[in-house]
Every structure is written in C-alpha cells, then in structure tokens.
A and B are shown apart, each in its own frame.
Chain A
Amino acid sequence: MTTAEAPVTTPTFAQPKPSWRDRLGNPWGRPRFLRLTTWLYILWSLVPVLLAIRFAFNSGRSRTSLQGWSLRWFWEDPNLSVFNDPTLQAALKHSLVLATIVMLISMPLGTALALGLRRWEGRGAGPANILLLLPLVTPELVFAVGMFLLFTTAFDFIGLGTLAHRSAR
C-alpha cells in the first residue's frame, strides 16, 4: 500500500524463444504448422475436383492437359456431347429420375424416423435405434449383395436386369 507510487515493472521472467515443440503443442500459441497442414489438406481435397470440372470445358479430347475452353462436350459436338449422345442423355435422365425418387422416399421416411426415434421411449426403441445404425456401419457391398440376391431370388418377378443393376452404382 505504501508502494503505490512505485513504478510498474514487468515481471522479469526470461522469455526464451518458443521451441518447435511449444509451437506444436501449446494451445495458446500460433499453430503455423497446423494451419499449413489444414490448408494443404483442403487444397488437396478440392483442387483435383476443380481440375476435373475444368477438363469438362476442354476444347480438345485430352483429359490430362488443358487445351483451351469450349462447350464442346456439353452440346457443341454433334456426336459426342452430352446433349447429342442418346446414351449419355438416357444415363443423365436415369440419374435425375432415380435421385428424385430416392429423395422423395427417403426424406419423409428419414425425417419421420428421426423425429420418432428421438422421442420414442420404452419397449422397442433400443432395437429400433440399433437397426437404424446398422446400415451406417455395414459396407455398401454387403448391402448391395443382399439387395441383389433379394431381387434376383425372392422378388425375381420384378425382373431387375443386370444393366439396371450396373447403372445404379
């Protein structure tokens, strides 16, 4: 109290230059290494796809080098473009139709299931929860083999051809 007038001195701890270990681990420090890793990862995860999109606008046939911009593969080419090739058009239509149907079925079904399971307590809720999680941790292949065998052996009146099966994936 008597030393109120004393000049304020900063504590004189030695401030060593932070070592690389501090930089890596210190939760208060500036994590340059982590930031670099993160941004490199983000670039790595997205640039290939951006380049693939760029190749769709290539004017040449190559998929490995850039050959100028064009809309050739969309509609300008009379035979090979998506707009002029009947097989590609059919495939595109299939995808859109299937995606729409899947969305229309799974959205109400999934929303109702999520709402229901969140609130439903009592008998049956536990097994229902496990049933919901099982498809998440089952490899797609097991799922797909099951459906394929189900449709080709038990429901074979549906007549799911091999072609339809192949284009589904």
Chain B
Amino acid sequence: MRNTWIWRTLAIPGIAWLGLFFVVAFYAIVSVGFGNVSTLYEPLPHWNPLDWNVGYIWLAIKSVVPGGSTWDSFARTFIYVVAAVVLSLAIGFPVAWYAARHAVGRWKGVILLLLALPFWISYLMRMFAWTNLLASGGYAARGLNALSLDNLFNSLGLMTGSDWLGGQHIAVVMALVYGYVPYLILPLYASLDRIDQRLIEAARDLGASPAGAFWRVVVPMSKTGTLAGIVLIALPMFGDYYTPDLISGSPKTAMFGNAINGYVQGGPDKAFGAALTLLLSAFLLLFMLYYLRVLRADQREAMRA
C-alpha cells in the first residue's frame, strides 16, 4: 500500500486510546503495587521505577503460596477453571462440529444465529436467569432435586445440602460453563469450518476408520483454533468474581478475583490488591503470549493464502 500514512493516521486515535487506558492503566497497577500507603491506608503510587518498594509484592507472593491467605482461593480458581474448560470443550466441540460439518442450508444459518444469540444478552442477565431457576423452589432446582442429582453430588462430595445457591462448587462451575461456552463455540466453529471436507474423505478412502480420520486429520487441523478458544475463555475466568458472587456469594466458593476485588474496592489495602493483580497478570502472561503467537501465525498464514 503506497500512501500508508492514511492508514496509520486512521489507526492512531484508537492506538492512543488503548495506550492511555490500557498501558497507562496497567502502569498504575504497577505503581500502586510497587508503591506504599499513607497513614490513612490510601495508596501512594510510586510512579518512578527507582522508588519502587517491593514490600507489597513480597506480601502478595507469600499469600499465594500454600499456607498463605489467598492460596485457597487461588487453588480453587485453578480447579474451577480447569473443570469449566473441560466441560465447555465437552459441550462446545460437538456443537461446533455439528454446526460446521453437518448443518446444511437454511438450518445452518438458523443454528449459527442461535449460537451467537447469547453474545447479545448481557452476562449478568444470563446469570440472574439462573439465580431465578436455582433458587429453592425454582424450576431448575426442583427438576434437579427430583432427579436426585443433589443426592448424587452430595455423595460424590461435590455438594453439601440441597440449596443450589448456597455456596456449591458444582453450581459455580456450571455457571462458569454456561457463561463462557458461547465464547468457545464460535472460534471452534471457525476453525472446524475451515477444514476441507475432502481431506476427511481422503483419509477415509485411504483406509482410516472414522475415529482415525478424526484423530489424525480433524484434531491436528483444529488444534490452534481449539487452543485459542480455550485461552479465550480461560483467561477471563481467572479474573472472574461476579459469577461466584451471583451464584453462591459464599466465601466457600470465593475465587481469586473475589480476593482482588475485596482488597481493591472495599478493603484498606489497595496496594496489596494491586500486588495480587500483578501476580495474576504475571501468571496469565504465559497463556497470553502463547495465544498471541498462535493468532499471529494464523494471521500470517491467512494473508499468505
């Protein structure tokens, strides 16, 4: 493109906005986390890296290792996210596969529309819908108890009592799945839809069993899309605090986000909250870098094609 300055000028306002509200905002976390507090426990950010005080970071690191004060919520968050991602894949992959490979004609459009519909409904609205249904006496609670699923989960140790909104791990994990699975299905659909049907047919013609064709053609070809989809739902889940708040509200199911939210919004120790946020970001950075690499490789491939 010859007059590249036009495109650069178009991009600059957006870049500046992101620079101000993303990069500078992140630097604010760094400055508060490496800062100090006043006698009134108001945070005193240290904007100059030479003045950084590692005290709060050190406290935060001590709190997330086993035995520390936030270790429980950190470990719980990790288990919730892994369980929710596995369940989301179990639900999302067949759905995306059906939409990409088997839905035909007008029905394909209808199914895609219905799969995209949750995007246009606020996340909070979708969670509140479940609080209606899972409240004691609600339709879902009555149905689940009639199937004695509460007894089943009780005997498996995943639930205590029969109040679905009373701090149940299983309810929070199901709510996470419900909330995030649409965001997994669409990238999965996109990557499965791109696979050439003839490659699967060729594998079958050359003697692969259906399962063999699936494992040796479909899985490798959709690997990047699947991993990108997993990262796309797992990262926000690690910062989630409103789902456990709405679905249980009990400290028994508090996630790492609840700890951060408590310190930053309510508690006196905003600097400690900022330090926890930095630790979470550092932990997630690995996943982010991986996602960015996959995506850029994908883009480059798409541009070459």
Contact = CB atoms under 8 A, between A and B. Distances in A.
Contact of B4 (A21, A51, A122, A152): A122
Interface string B229-269: 00110011111111000000000000001001100110000
Contacts of A133: 292, 295
Nearest to B126: A49
A104 to B, nearest CB: 13
8 contacts: A27-B213, A34-B97, A51-B139, A52-B125, A119-B4, A119-B7, A141-B241, A148-B265
Interface stretch (B9-17, B60-68, B144-152): B9-17
B218 to A, nearest CB: 9
B10 A141 contact: no
Contact of B236 (A51, A118, A139, A166): A139
Contact of A132 (B4, B9, B18): B18
B292 A31 contact: no
- Secondary structure call for the B interface: helix
B114 A113 contact: no
B128 interface: yes
Contacts of B95: 37-38, 41
A154 B13 CA distance: 22
Given A27-B197, A45-B118, A112-B11, 8 more contacts: A25-B211, A31-B102, A48-B126, A116-B12, A130-B292, A139-B238, A142-B280, A150-B21
A23 B81 CA distance: 32
Top 7 nearest A-B pairs by Cβ distance?
A139-B239, A25-B210, A116-B11, A113-B14, A146-B25, A141-B239, A116-B10
- Secondary structure call for the A interface: helix
A72 to B, nearest CB: 17
Interface residues of A, number: 67
A146 B213 contact: no
Interface in A10-41: 21-22, 24-27, 31, 33-35, 37-38, 41
Instruction: Count chain B CB atoms within 10 A of each CB in A51, A64, A143 and give the residue with the most.
Output: A64
